Amino acid sequence: MSVLDTPVAVQRVKSHRVAETFSRARELAIFAVILILFFGTAIKTPGFANITSVQQILTNSSLFILLAIGETLVIVTRNVDLSVGSTLGMSAFLVGEYYTHTYSTSTFHSNGSVIVAFLIGIGVGAFCGALIGLIVTVAKVPSLVVSLAALYIIRGILNLIGTGVQIEPTVIPSSFQKIGYETWAGIPWIFIIPLIAALVIAFAMRSFRSMRELYAIGSNPVAAQLAGVPVGRRVFTSFLLSGSLAGLGGVLFASEFATVNATAGTGYELLVIASCVVGGVAIFGGSGTVIGAGLGAILLQVINQALVVTNVSPFWDSALAGALILVAVSIDRFVSNRASLALRLKQGATRVD
């Protein structure tokens, strides 16, 4: 009998399949809620049901989807990255500064390269993510503490260099701004980029062992270490990817708004975590998908748009987001506890037999 054929291994495989089935059902449920909320709002306000509203929802959710993808990679390892909003702001500001410098020093006002702008933004994010990942994995400092400190440090540096500075749309080339407002087949380009990122990372997390090991780390870090999983390296990689995606988000922020100041990305981290939790990513680690996190971001934006068109106070947006977080965490804990109890009972019954 092989190791994979032992009763315990079989039960673990069954438990994993149940978790995957629940995850898919959760994603379908969120998608159904999005449709119900959208069409329910359209019934009350007929003008809401048009392509412009859909495009606006997709555009507004794009940055949060991108950040939620990276945050999901971190959360499934039983960590958290609170610095994504500040990283996005720093990336956006430095991209704007690059274009400002290029514009002011160029005789013909060529405005610089779009490719260089992407490299700057992603590079800034990767550096921030790598630094946080090193402190977490090498110095063994809790990620909550490190990322919270990074949030304030990055924002402080941004305020120091950016206070009183306003990046104007006139220095941003039209070729770069088009990413923020042009569409393909009616779908905004700024949404297509996060969509591709989500699909690629979702495939990687299902297909590649190195990415699936993130779930093992989040489920039981000690057991993963004993099983030979390079825990430190995987956690570092998750922070690196999170930072890189936040940096890419900064590039898209500069493209969409074409004006940047020191406040860019302020408060984004809480909405990103809300998107992940609402999307089914277990805040205690070990489960969740980037597709679910992306749907969570879209759901929060649909709620926001529905409140606006129905003339409901925008303060309810935060209240509803908080309520959704409480409900989502409660459901996850209930299902997790029930699944763990069922698994222990089955394993006990197997040993008796």
**SS3 state at 206:** helix
CB-neighbour burial class of residue 207 (10 A; exposed 0-12, middle 13-18, buried 19+) = exposed
Reported as a single tens digit per residue, the pLDDT across 87-129 is: 999 999 999 999 988 866 654 445 578 999 999 999 999 999 9
Where exactly are the structural domains of the chain?
A: 3-352
Reported as a single tens digit per residue, the pLDDT across 66-87 is: 999 999 999 999 999 999 999 9
Instruction: Please tell me the pTM assigned to this model.
Output: 0.86
CB-neighbour burial class of residue 156 (10 A; exposed 0-12, middle 13-18, buried 19+) = exposed
- DSSP letter assigned to residue 106: -
pLDDT at 168: 86
Q: How many residues does the chain have?
A: 353
Rg of the chain (C-alpha set): 22
Reported as a single tens digit per residue, the pLDDT across 217-234 is: 998 999 999 999 999 999
In the block, which residue shows the tokens 């009183």?
164
pLDDT at 124: 97
For residue 145, give both structure tokens: 């503490």
Spans of the chain below 70 pLDDT: 1-24, 103-111, 314, 332-353
Distance CA 275, CA 292 (A): 9
- DSSP letter assigned to residue 258: S
Q: What are phi and psi of 167, to 5 degrees?
A: -75, 120
- The CATH class given to the 3-352 domain equals mainly alpha
Cross-strand bridge partners of residue 260: 167
